[in-house]
Structures are given as structure tokens and as C-alpha cells.
């Protein structure tokens, strides 16, 4: 809970300074008939009496830190003050004494009888009612109780512990409706995020990620440097971000030092990883047995090599984070250094990261002007070998009787189609990549008159990427393609600017409270890239550092390229909120946004939103019902957009293109071709969302949570629409066509089954379900259309598509020949379109049918934390149900037909009572239920009491991805992509997911 309080402090400061009336209302019962409390005026009244002075300091019971900005009022009078930045106060009181009332947002109000004492220490207890939590919303913060939209938030103390990859994994399973998965075990790979289903076909489904208000990504700051993450789920909350918000908005708040505390915090952990589940292949001994017993003509080279074992390692990874908080009430800073060095389970894979952040705050003119400067610099580096998904495939299929090296110590290569020694690929290829990003932002807050706050925010983000990769003479590429050492280099630079001007005003008149926000935002970005490759080098010692030494570029065989593009986005936005008597809540917002990425005809769009709330618990008939702290009903409506991924899509432009060139006039010339079918009418996708929800807090907040129902109508879908090729030049064209619908429900429950002095058990349960439907794929111009498109691919040698997206159906459906048996010849028996069973040789493409869906219908998360004295235990479960996975591993390797490649040790097992004698083929047999329940995170920690300069210390052990209940036979049912149009394809070329064990230490001084 401690960091949760910090955030409250942050916001409380703001609220005290800006929203005085809000404070007043929430404490109306203790301050009836009183007007303004704060400031010098109070001092004037106090001095007129026969008085004495009392002083004191206000602390939080939660973390023992002082609390600034606490209101201190002498009961029954207008006398009062507020604590300073060190939590101290001085107040004149009548000689006879009285009662002081201490109140502060987020804390329980406390009364104190003044005795003869003149110096006091006051401990304020946090007000644990969840409705008082502060949540970050678009361009500001709000009390949870005032929010009328669906917003999910997770504070630092509730984050997933252990070796967490990025910010998204911190909240994995903790926000209902937000699905975070890690499909790859590669330490450099990211997470996949999806909020409320698939909402776009060609645009992004990724949420807008803002770090302290500035666009970034899940890796912009280190996970250890994050204080809270809030997720704007429904359209009424997200609409203020316009065209970037359909995938939701994730607001990351970094750790801040608003109390002027002076603390050093050090965090360290070490982790090891193992593969989630190892595929069981035929061994060398199995080969010899099959040769001897069944006469299967395998080649026996005499050995027994565990190829997967050869390419795996047990990686040890480490992470260090040092954060400094320092300064005083007017000038303070937060600085953090985060270093992380992770290795992967594949040999020669890993990544190093260094992230440094400095945050400086200064306030002047009686806090009327506040400035902030923040700098984040990060460097991601990796030097790797050739261990990729393809090498993993080679380890799967390589003859287990073969050896890694021959007698001379050279790599043992063999002939074969796509058949290479995986270990040689790993060692004979090296790549180096470096990513640098420098983010600088500054803001000025100015409060010219009470209740009005003007803010100017400016930021600049510059990043660049540099990559080099090279193969040696001993790489299989020399053997296979006669290319003697290859090398490539690429680089890119990205520059992004943001300017934002916002004004906030609020006013309370009697029981009416309203706020107004207005603002303007500008964003522009430039991206530039360059790449070149070469081969046939005289030596392999140059690697990528002397590209000119190769011959292929000079011979015109190798490639070189460069590109540049730019986009701009401008927006005007406003928001109005109104509440009456803390019972009836209303919010309306609008954004008017223009983008360079759309045709002039449709450059600007409007994105309105409105929501209402009713705090039914504040009505007289519920007000005094015990066990009901809060019940709020909400309804919201909001419009957001999605921009097509690439710039230029609307432009009439041409390119010179070698592929379309020809031999004309006795020489080779490049072809001058239109880049695409022209569409100057291109515009954004529009998502209209309706959200109904309830927030509740019951039994003294022992049970709280939210339930939300939503429906999303997405219109003007950007789709690469098939158009007739006469008359159009290309068979497809980016058009706004079609519509899609998502609806679903989300449940969040927080409960505290046990709350004793020594033993506390907090539990959190999330559930979400989503239903997706593609309504239409046409527009006014093309009323007749393909009612479907195919997606996903098996790759060689099956060469087939896997999914079909059909109008009227959901995204993610497999489209396949349904296998119902195997005949005595070992051929698949297929149920054809007339329902008859035929051998696969007689089946035609028209016999394919829909069979299962790769997107889970139900997602659950169940998170528990136990505190017993100084011991804390955290147990998190995660599950997904109602979905299927196409197991490529079995489709390719559980078939005895191709003995040139190794296979799973189940390949010779009978299928439907028969051994297969069928070419590798995509049939429904390989589509399995993907349902699973995981023990994802188990953490045990012990906190030491503070001693001397050490404020506190904690050690913990943690495991990620520990245990799984599933019928799925592949490596990991969660290690599968769930985005795009072929979700649920568990590809054969992959970096398998891992199980991670972590030991960590956390100390504060």
C-alpha cells in the first residue's frame, strides 16, 4: 500500500492547490458554513485573539513519512492552516484550548484535543475506501468516486513481481479486459497487449501508451521506475485522445518525489530460466530401433545427439535499479538508474539495457508557477548469434544419430532441403544491435487565479537504431548458397515532438461542482532509415564493419535502400464535468483532430464522448445502510478512431521500381509505376463505444470492484479491399469499408477474506469475455464484395493458409479440412461439404470448414497476496478458456511420412487406429483446445525492520510461469500470438517461452 499513498500525495497536492472546493465538499460535515480555509487570510483572524501557538507534524501511519498539505482547522471556528512541505504546521489557538481537525484527501479525518501540550505528532490513517483512490485520466486526475468511465488502475505494490519484461507484464492478469501475453521467450521480445478484442483490421490494435503524458511504449521506462499504471478502457474515457485511442489508453506514471523526501532505494534481482516444456523427439536410439524393428530406412550416423539440448542454455540474468529522491518542498528531484542484463535460453541470445531517468521539479511565486523537467535516456544493446526460430526448427528436425562436429572439428553439415546444422548457424552468425532513445520533456504550470491552472508541456524524443549482422565463411550460407560471408547494416532515426497547452478550471457553487478542461495538442514525427547488405567478402574478419569489401553489391546482387517519412497530428480538446451533491455525475468531452495521413477531403474528425454516473449509495435510502460504502452506476458513450499504419496511403504517387522494369529500347530500365490505387478519400476508422458499469465498495471496503458491459461498433474499417483488376491497377486498395462489432463483459473483484492484525489476505479476481463479429466488408462504392479473406500461412512444405475471416463471423476462425479418421491406407478421412466422409485425395478446397477459434472467449486472473507479520506471499493465477490452437509442431513433426527430418516420438503412434501414410497437410486433427490455467507468479518475501540509516529492506524469491493445467500438447498455450488474423497459430519456428526463478533484494535508505 505504501506507494499507493505516494500517488495520493501527488494528487492531493494538486487538489489542495487547485480544487479547493472539491475538498470542501468532501469534508462538508466537519466544516459547515465555513468559507475559505487556506492561506494568509486565516492568519489575520487568528491574530486578533488572546492566543497561544501550537505546532506539530503530521505523519502518515502507512509509511511513516510526513504529509504536506493537510488541512488543520480549529473545530467550530474559521481558524486553520495547512501543513507545509515537511508536514509541519503552526497555529494560534485560544488559550483555553479546543479541538483540532486534521483532514486530508485519502486519509481518515482525525480530531485532536489540545491539552497543555504545544507540540504534537499526529498520525493520519489512510482512508482505505477504494472510491477515494485517485486515478489518472486523460490530461489530469480524478477521484475514483467521481469517475464515470471504465478505468482500470494498478499501483506499484500490486504489480507482478520478479523478472518482469516490460510495463505491460506488471499488470498481467490484473486489469479486467486487458490481456497481456508473452508469446516469445526471447529476452529482447516484448509483450502482446490487447484490450477488449480485435478492433481494427489494418490499423493498429495497440493501445496508446503515455508516460507522464508523453507517447512512448512499454519499454520507455524500466518497470522498477513505475508508480502506477492506469488503463482507460471504454470510449468515453479514451475519446479525448481521438484517433490514437481505439486500442485503449495506458497511462504510466513514473515514480515522483513530491514530498521533498530524501531517500535512496536500491532494487536488485537475479533470475534463471528454463524452457517451459521440451518437445519429445525421436532419439538416436529410437532411430536404431525403428531401423531394426520396422526397417524404416533412416540413416544411422551412430551417435545420439540431443539437438534441442545442444542449443539451450540455463541463462542467468540480473537487474539493478537505483532510485534517488531528494530536495525540498520547492525544488526536488528523482533520479533513477536501471541496468538489466538478460540472457535467453537459446545460446548466444540476450539483451542489455541501461535506462537513466532524471525528474526535476521547482515551484515559485507561492507555488503559482511550477516547472518540471524530465529526461529519460535508454540504451538497449545486444550481441547475438544465429539462434532464432529457424535454428530451433533445425534442432527439431535434425537426425539425432548425427553429431555437431566432424572428426576434424568442423561443423557436420548434411545435404537436405532446408536442413542445416543449428549449432553452426548459432556460432557462425553474429549480430549487434543498439537502440538509443533520449526523451526530454518540460512543463510549466501556472495558476494565475484560484482554481485556474494553465499548463504548457513540450517534449522531444529522439531515437536511433544501429544494426549489423554477418555470417562467417563457415556458415551454412557458404555451403548452400555459395555466398562467402554475408554482412548487412541498417540504421534508422526517429524524431518526435509534442506540444500541449491545457487549461483547467473548477468551481463549486453550493452542492454543484464543475470542472472545465480545454487544450490543444500538436505532434509531429520524422522517421528515416538506411540499410545495405553485401556478400562475397575476401575475408570474414570484417563482419559488418567494412561493407564495401564485399563483391555482391558491386555486382548489383546485394541491396541497399533508404527511406524517410513524416506525419503530423493536431488536436483541440475539451472536457466538462459536473456533479451535484456527490450523487449525480456527468462528463462530456470532445476532441477535434486532424492528421496528415489522410486525404485533404477527410483531414479533420470529431470525437465526442459523454458519460453519467449515479452514486446511489449517497442517496438517503442507502446512506446509512451499514456494509455499503459506495455504489455507483455508470453509463458512457464515446467515439475514437484508428489511423492506418503507414503514411502516404492517400497520396497519388509513383515509384521507380526495378521489379516492374523491363528491357526497353535495348537497355534495362526501371518501371515507373503508381505506388497503389489512389484513394484521396482515405479517413480513419471510427469506433463508437457504449459502456455500462457499476463500481462498488462493500463491507468496510472488504469487497469492492467493478462490473462493466460494453459494446463497440467499429465503422469505416480500413481494409485492403479487393477491387476488380480491370479496371483497377492493383487487386486491392486501402479503403474505408465495412464494420465490426465487439461486445463483452468485465468483472473486477477486490476482496479481503482475512484482515487480522498479523495476517492479511487480499485477493483480486478479474474476468473478461469478448465476442467479436465482422458485420460487413463493403462500402458505398463496392456494394458487392468478397465476403471473406484468408489469413495465416503454414509455410513449407504444407503451403496453405490457416484462417478465414468471414463476414458474419468472428475474427480468428480456423478454416480447414475436417479430419474424422484415417483409412487403412493411412490417408486422412475428410468430412466433405456434403457431410460425406472421403479420403483426403478426393477432398477439394470447397470442403474446408470453420473449425474453432484462436482467440480465447474467457480470460481470468486470480491474484492473492498474504501478509503474515514480516512475511508476504503472492500467488497469481491466470487462465484463458474457450479457444483453440493450431499445433504446428504436431502438424509438421507428428507424421512419419518424411523420414529426411526428425519428428516427435509420437509420430508413429496410430491416429484413429491407423499409422499415418499421408503427406504433411493442414487438417483439423492438429487444432487442439488451448484452454489453460496457470500458476503464473508465486512470490515469497520477507521485510526487515528499519535500522539506522536503512529505512527498510525486503528480500524475495519469485517464480514466473510456474505451473500449468492444460490439455494442449504444444510448448505453451499462452506462447502463441493472439493478434492479427491468424491468432492461435503456434508456429513451428519459435523462441519457446520460459519458466523464470528470481531472487531479489529491495533496500531503502
Partner 1 sequence: MKVFNKIVLGSALVIGGSLAFQSCLNLDEQVYSEVLSENFRPGERDIPAIIAPVYGSLRALMMGWQGHFDVQEESADVIVTPARPNGWYDGGTYVRMHQHTWTAIQWQPTNLWQSSYRSITTANRVIAQIEDDQISIENGREAVIAELKAVRAFAYYLLLDNHGNVPVVTDFRDVSLPQQSSRAELYDFVISEIEAAMPDLSQDARNTYGQMNYWVAKTLLAKIYLNAEVYTGTPQWQKVIEVCDEIIAGGAYQLDNVYAEVFHWENQNNEEIIFAVPYDEIFGQGNTVHMKTLDPLSRFVYNMQAGPWGGNCAVPQFIDTYDEEDGRLYDTWIMGPQFHANTGEMVISYTKEVPSIAATTSNQGYRIGKYQIKQGATGSLDNDFPFFRYADVLMMKAEALLRLGNGTQAAEIVSEVRARAFANTNPAKATVTAAQLEGNSRYQYGYQNLDGSIDLDTGVIPFGGFLDELGWEFAAEAHRRQDLIRFGVFQTKSWFNHRPHPQAQDKIIFPIPEAELNNNPNLTQNSSY
**C-beta closer to partner 1: residue 442 or 882:** 442
Q: Site for partner 1 (CB under 8 A): which residue of 401, 534, 650, 867?
A: 650
Q: How far is the CB of 233 from partner 1 (least distance, A)?
A: 29
**C-beta closer to partner 1: residue 654 or 944:** 654
Could you tell me which stretch among 45-53, 404-412, 516-524, 926-934 binds partner 1 (CB under 8 A)?
Answer: 516-524
Q: Site for partner 1 (CB under 8 A): which residue of 49, 606, 646, 841?
A: 841
Q: Site for partner 1 (CB under 8 A): which residue of 661, 809, 821, 882?
A: 661
Q: How far is the CB of 894 from partner 1 (least distance, A)?
A: 16
Site residues for partner 1, window 354-393 (CB under 8 A)?
Answer: 365, 368-369
Q: How far is the CB of 169 from partner 1 (least distance, A)?
A: 36
Interaction of residue 666 with partner 1, rule CB under 8 A: yes
Site residues for partner 1, window 425-444 (CB under 8 A)?
Answer: 444
Interaction of residue 415 with partner 1, rule CB under 8 A: yes
Site residues for partner 1, window 671-690 (CB under 8 A)?
Answer: 671-675
How many whole angstroms separate alpha carbon 504 and alpha carbon 193?
32
Q: What is the DSSP letter of 476?
A: H
Q: How far is the CB of 666 from partner 1 (least distance, A)?
A: 6
Quick one: cell of 456?
504548457
Q: How far is the CB of 460 from partner 1 (least distance, A)?
A: 13
Backbone CA torsion sign across 418, 419, 420, 426: positive
Site residues for partner 1, window 165-204 (CB under 8 A)?
Answer: none
**C-beta closer to partner 1: residue 256 or 591:** 591
**C-beta closer to partner 1: residue 53 or 670:** 670
Q: Site for partner 1 (CB under 8 A): which residue of 436, 557, 849, 906?
A: 557
Q: How far is the CB of 840 from partner 1 (least distance, A)?
A: 8
Q: Site for partner 1 (CB under 8 A): which residue of 88, 731, 808, 910?
A: 731
The owner of cell 472488504 is: 702
Interaction of residue 728 with partner 1, rule CB under 8 A: yes
**C-beta closer to partner 1: residue 676 or 878:** 676
Could you tell me which stretch among 16-24, 151-159, 842-850, 903-911 binds partner 1 (CB under 8 A)?
Answer: 842-850
Concatenated DSSP letters of 482-500 = ----EEEEEEEEEEEEEEE
How many whole angstroms separate alpha carbon 571 and alpha carbon 192?
28
Q: Site for partner 1 (CB under 8 A): which residue of 302, 665, 835, 948?
A: 665
Backbone angles phi, psi at 241, to 5 degrees: -100, 5
The owner of cell 491468424 is: 982
The three-state DSSP-derived secondary structure of 615-642 is: EHHHCHHHHCCCCEEEEEEEEEEEEEEE
Backbone angles phi, psi at 873, to 5 degrees: -130, 140
Task: Spell out, one character per residue from 846 to 875, where the chain touches partner 1: x when CB under 8 A holds, - when not.
Answer: x-----------------------------
Residue 792 Ramachandran class (φ > 0 left, ψ -120 to 50 alpha, else beta): left
Q: Site for partner 1 (CB under 8 A): which residue of 483, 632, 818, 988?
A: 483
Q: Compute the radius of gyration of the chain from its Cα atoms.
A: 32
Interaction of residue 560 with partner 1, rule CB under 8 A: no
Task: Spell out, one character per residue from 872 to 911, where the chain touches partner 1: x when CB under 8 A holds, - when not.
Answer: --------------------------xxx-----------
Q: Contact, 902 vs 394, CB < 8 A?
A: no
Torsion of CA 236, 241, 243, 244, to 10 degrees: -110
Q: How far is the CB of 201 from partner 1 (least distance, A)?
A: 17
Interaction of residue 645 with partner 1, rule CB under 8 A: no
- What count of residues does the chain have? 1005
Buried b (16+ CB within 10 A) or exposed e, 279-303: bebbbbebbbebeeeeeeebeebee
Task: Tell me the sheet residues that pair with 358.
Answer: 335, 375
Q: Site for partner 1 (CB under 8 A): which residue of 538, 725, 759, 836?
A: 725
Q: How far is the CB of 514 from partner 1 (least distance, A)?
A: 23
Interaction of residue 651 with partner 1, rule CB under 8 A: yes
Q: How far is the CB of 799 from partner 1 (least distance, A)?
A: 4
Interaction of residue 416 with partner 1, rule CB under 8 A: yes
Q: Site for partner 1 (CB under 8 A): which residue of 727, 835, 945, 948?
A: 727
The owner of cell 467515439 is: 639
Q: Contact, 360 vs 440, CB < 8 A?
A: no
**C-beta closer to partner 1: residue 90 or 559:** 559
Q: Contact, 571 vs 524, CB < 8 A?
A: no
Q: How far is the CB of 486 from partner 1 (least distance, A)?
A: 11
Q: How far is the CB of 533 from partner 1 (least distance, A)?
A: 14
Q: How far is the CB of 561 from partner 1 (least distance, A)?
A: 9
Interaction of residue 919 with partner 1, rule CB under 8 A: yes
Task: Spell out, one character per residue from 795 to 824, where the chain touches partner 1: x when CB under 8 A holds, - when not.
Answer: -xxxxx------------------------
Q: Contact, 364 vs 372, CB < 8 A?
A: no
Interaction of residue 563 with partner 1, rule CB under 8 A: yes
Q: How far is the CB of 446 from partner 1 (least distance, A)?
A: 5
Quick one: cell of 36?
475559505
Backbone CA torsion sign across 485, 402, 184, 770: positive
How many whole angstroms separate alpha carbon 307 and alpha carbon 487?
27
Quick one: cell of 300?
544411422
Question: Cβ neighbours of residue 19 under 8 Å, at least 6 residues apart?
Answer: 451, 506, 515
SS3 753: strand
How many whole angstroms separate alpha carbon 457 and alpha carbon 443?
4
Q: Site for partner 1 (CB under 8 A): which residue of 480, 541, 622, 965?
A: 480
Interaction of residue 454 with partner 1, rule CB under 8 A: yes
Question: Cβ neighbours of residue 960 under 8 Å, at least 6 residues apart?
Answer: 160, 162, 163, 936, 937, 995, 996, 997, 998
Q: Site for partner 1 (CB under 8 A): which residue of 653, 755, 833, 942?
A: 653
Q: Own/partner pairs for 291-299, CB < 8 Å, 24+ apart? A: 296/896, 296/899, 297/899, 298/399, 298/401, 298/899, 299/399, 299/401
How many whole angstroms separate alpha carbon 716 and alpha carbon 738?
6
Give the H/E segment covering residue 557: none
Nearest to 234 by CA among 675, 661, 768, 698: 768
Q: Site for partner 1 (CB under 8 A): which residue of 1, 538, 539, 668?
A: 668
Q: How many residues bind partner 1 (CB under 8 A)?
A: 96
SS3 841: helix
Q: What is the DSSP letter of 207?
A: P
Q: What is the DSSP letter of 937?
A: E
Q: Site for partner 1 (CB under 8 A): which residue of 392, 922, 968, 991?
A: 922
**C-beta closer to partner 1: residue 66 or 521:** 521
Q: How far is the CB of 35 from partner 1 (least distance, A)?
A: 21
Q: Site for partner 1 (CB under 8 A): which residue of 180, 209, 290, 921?
A: 921
Q: Contact, 220 vs 211, CB < 8 A?
A: yes
Could you tell me which stretch among 350-358, 377-385, 461-469, 565-573 binds partner 1 (CB under 8 A)?
Answer: 565-573
Site residues for partner 1, window 570-629 (CB under 8 A)?
Answer: 570, 594-597, 603
Q: Contact, 256 vs 374, CB < 8 A?
A: no
**C-beta closer to partner 1: residue 458 or 549:** 458
Could you tell me which stretch among 70-78, 507-515, 564-572, 995-1003 binds partner 1 (CB under 8 A)?
Answer: 564-572
Q: How far is the CB of 330 from partner 1 (least distance, A)?
A: 16
How many whole angstroms separate alpha carbon 753 and alpha carbon 763?
7
Amino acid at each position: 500500500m505504501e506507494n499507493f499513498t505516494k500517488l495520493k500525495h501527488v494528487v492531493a497536492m494538486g487538489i489542495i492547490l487547485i480544487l479547493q472546493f472539491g475538498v470542501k465538499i468532501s469534508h462538508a460535515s466537519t466544516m459547515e458554513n465555513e468559507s475559505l480555509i487556506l492561506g494568509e487570510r486565516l492568519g489575520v483572524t487568528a491574530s486578533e485573539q488572546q492566543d497561544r501557538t501550537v505546532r506539530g507534524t503530521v505523519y502518515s501511519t502507512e509509511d511513516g513519512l510526513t504529509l504536506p498539505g493537510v488541512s488543520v482547522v480549529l473545530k467550530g471556528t474559521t481558524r486553520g492552516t495547512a501543513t507545509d512541505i515537511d508536514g509541519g504546521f503552526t497555529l494560534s489557538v485560544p488559550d483555553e484550548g479546543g479541538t483540532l481537525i486534521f483532514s486530508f484527501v485519502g486519509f481518515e479525518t482525525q480530531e485532536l484535543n489540545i491539552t497543555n501540550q504545544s507540540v504534537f505528532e499526529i498520525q493520519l490513517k489512510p482512508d482505505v475506501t477504494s472510491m477515494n483512490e485517485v486515478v489518472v485520466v486523460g490530461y489530469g486526475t480524478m477521484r475514483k468516486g467521481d469517475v464515470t468511465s471504465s478505468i482500470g488502475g494498478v499501483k506499484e505494490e500490486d504489480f507482478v513481481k520478479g523478472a518482469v519484461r516490460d510495463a505491460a507484464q506488471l499488470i498481467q492478469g490484473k486489469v479486467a479486459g486487458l490481456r497481456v501475453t508473452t508469446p516469445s521467450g526471447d529476452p529482447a521480445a516484448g509483450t502482446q497487449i490487447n484490450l477488449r478484442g480485435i478492433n481494427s483490421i489494418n490499423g493498429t490494435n495497440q493501445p496508446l501508451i503515455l508516460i507522464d503524458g508523453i507517447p512512448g511504449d512499454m519499454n520507455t521506462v524500466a518497470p522498477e521506475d513505475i508508480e502506477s499504471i492506469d488503463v482507460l478502457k471504454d470510449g468515453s474515457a479514451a475519446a479525448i485522445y481521438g484517433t490514437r485511442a481505439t486500442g485503449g489508453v495506458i497511462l504510466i506514471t513514473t515514480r515522483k518525489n513530491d514530498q521533498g523526501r530524501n531517500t535512496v532505494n536500491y532494487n536488485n534481482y537475479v533470475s534463471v530460466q528454463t524452457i517451459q516444456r521440451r518437445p519429445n523427439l525421436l532419439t538416436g536410439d529410437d532411430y536404431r530401433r525403428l531401423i531394426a524393428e520396422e526397417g524404416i530406412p533412416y540413416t544411422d550416423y551412430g551417435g545420439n545427439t540431443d539437438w534441442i539440448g545442444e542449443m539451450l542454455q540455463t541463462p542467468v540474468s540480473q537487474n539493478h535499479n537505483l532510485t534517488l529522491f531528494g530536495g525540498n518542498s520547492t525544488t526536488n528531484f528523482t533520479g533513477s538508474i536501471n541496468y538489466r542484463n538478460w540472457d535467453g535460453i537459446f545460446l548466444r541470445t540476450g539483451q542489455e539495457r541501461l535506462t537513466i531517468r532524471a525528474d526535476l521539479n521547482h515551484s515559485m511565486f507561492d507555488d503559482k508557477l511550477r516547472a518540471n523537467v524530465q529526461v529519460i535516456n535508454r540504451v538497449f544493446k545486444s550481441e547475438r548469434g544465429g539462434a532464432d526460430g529457424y535454428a530451433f526448427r533445425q534442432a527439431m528436425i535434425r537426425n539425432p544419430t548425427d553429431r555437431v562436429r566432424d572428426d576434424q572439428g568442423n561443423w557436420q553439415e548434411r545435404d537436405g532441403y532446408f536442413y542445416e546444422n543449428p549449432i553452426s548457424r548459432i556460432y557462425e552468425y553474429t549480430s549487434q544491435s543498439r537502440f538509443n532513445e533520449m526523451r526530454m520533456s518540460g512543463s510549466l504550470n501556472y495558476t494565475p487565479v484560484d482554481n485556474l491552472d494553465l499548463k504548457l508541456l513540450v517534449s522531444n524524443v529522439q531515437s536511433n537504431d544501429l544494426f549489423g549482422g554477418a555470417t562467417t565463411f563457415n556458415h551454412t550460407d557458404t555451403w548452400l548458397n555459395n555466398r562467402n560471408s554475408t554482412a548487412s547494416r541498417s540504421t534508422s532515426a526517429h524524431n518526435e515532438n509534442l506540444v500541449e497547452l491545457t487549461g483547467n478550471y473548477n468551481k463549486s457553487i453550493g452542492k454543484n461542482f464543475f470542472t472545465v478542461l480545454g487544450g490543444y495538442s500538436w505532434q509531429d514525427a520524422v522517421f528515416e532509415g538506411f540499410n545495405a547488405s553485401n556478400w562475397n567478402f575476401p575475408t570474414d574478419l570484417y563482419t559488418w564493419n567494412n561493407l564495401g569489401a564485399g563483391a555482391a553489391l558491386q555486382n548489383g546482387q546485394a541491396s541497399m535502400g533508404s527511406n524517410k517519412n513524416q506525419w503530423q497530428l493536431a488536436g483541440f480538446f475539451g472536457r466538462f464535468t459536473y456533479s451535484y451533491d456527490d450523487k449525480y455525475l456527468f462528463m462530456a468531452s470532445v476532441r477535434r483532430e486532424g492528421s496528415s495521413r489522410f486525404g485533404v477531403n477527410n483531414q479533420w474528425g470529431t470525437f465526442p464522448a459523454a458519460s453519467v454516473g449515479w452514486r446511489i449509495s449517497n442517496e438517503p435510502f442507502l446512506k446509512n445502510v451499514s456494509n455499503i460504502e459506495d455504489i455507483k452506476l455508470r453509463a458512457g458513450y464515446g467515439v475514437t478512431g484508428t489511423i492506418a499504419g503507414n503514411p502516404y496511403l492517400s497520396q497519388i504517387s509513383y515509384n521507380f521500381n526495378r521489379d516492374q522494369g523491363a528491357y526497353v529500347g535495348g537497355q534495362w530500365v526501371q518501371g515507373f509505376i503508381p505506388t497503389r490505387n489512389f484513394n484521396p478519400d482515405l479517413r480513419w476508422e471510427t469506433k463508437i463505444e457504449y459502456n455500462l458499469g457499476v463500481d462498488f465498495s462493500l463491507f468496510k471496503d472488504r469487497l469492492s470492484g467493478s462490473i462493466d458491459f460494453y459494446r463497440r461498433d467499429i465503422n469505416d474499417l480500413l481494409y485492403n479491399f479487393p477491387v476488380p483488376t480491370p479496371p483497377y491497377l492493383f487487386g486491392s486498395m486501402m479503403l474505408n469499408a465495412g464494420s465490426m462489432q465487439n461486445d463483452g463483459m468485465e468483472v473486477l473483484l477486490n476482496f479481503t477474506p482475512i484482515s487480522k492484525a498479523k495476517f492479511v489476505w487480499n485477493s483480486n479476481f478479474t474476468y473478461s469475455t469478448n465476442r467479436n463479429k465482422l458485420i460487413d466488408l463493403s462500402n458505398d462504392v463496392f456494394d458487392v464484395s468478397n465476403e471473406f479473406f484468408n489469413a495465416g500461412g503454414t509455410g513449407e512444405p504444407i503451403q496453405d493458409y490457416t484462417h478465414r475471416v468471414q463476414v458474419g463471423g468472428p475474427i480468428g476462425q480456423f478454416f480447414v479440412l475436417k479430419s474424422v479418421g484415417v483409412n487403412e491406407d493411412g490417408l486422412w478421412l475428410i468430412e466433405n461439404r456434403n457431410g460425406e466422409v472421403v479420403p483426403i485425395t478426393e477432398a477439394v478446397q470447397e470442403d474446408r470448414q470453420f473449425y474453432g477459434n484462436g482467440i480465447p472467449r474467457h480470460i481470468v486472473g486470480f491474484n492473492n497476496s498474504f501478509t503474515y507479520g514480516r512475511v508476504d506471499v503472492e500467488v497469481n493465477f491466470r487462465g484463458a478458456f474457450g479457444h483453440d490452437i493450431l499445433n504446428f509442431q504436431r502438424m509438421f513433426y507428428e507424421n512419419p511420412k518424411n523420414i529426411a527430418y526428425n519428428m516427435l516420438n509420437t509420430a508413429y503412434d496410430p491416429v484413429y487406429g491407423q499409422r499415418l501414410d499421408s503427406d504433411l497437410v493442414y487438417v483439423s486433427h492438429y487444432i487442439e483446445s488451448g484452454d489453460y490455467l496457470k500458476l503464473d507468479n508465486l512470490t515469497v518475501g520477507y521485510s526487515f525492520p528499519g535500522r539506522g540509516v536503512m529505512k527498510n529492506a525486503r528480500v524475495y524469491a519469485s517464480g514466473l510461469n510456474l505451473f500449468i493445467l492444460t490439455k494442449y500438447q504444444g510448448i505453451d498455450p499462452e506462447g502463441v500470438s493472439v493478434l492479427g488474423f491468424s491468432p492461435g497459430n503456434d508456429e513451428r519456428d519459435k523462441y519457446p517461452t520460459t519458466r523464470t526463478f528470481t531472487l531479489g533484494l529491495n533496500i531503502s535508505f
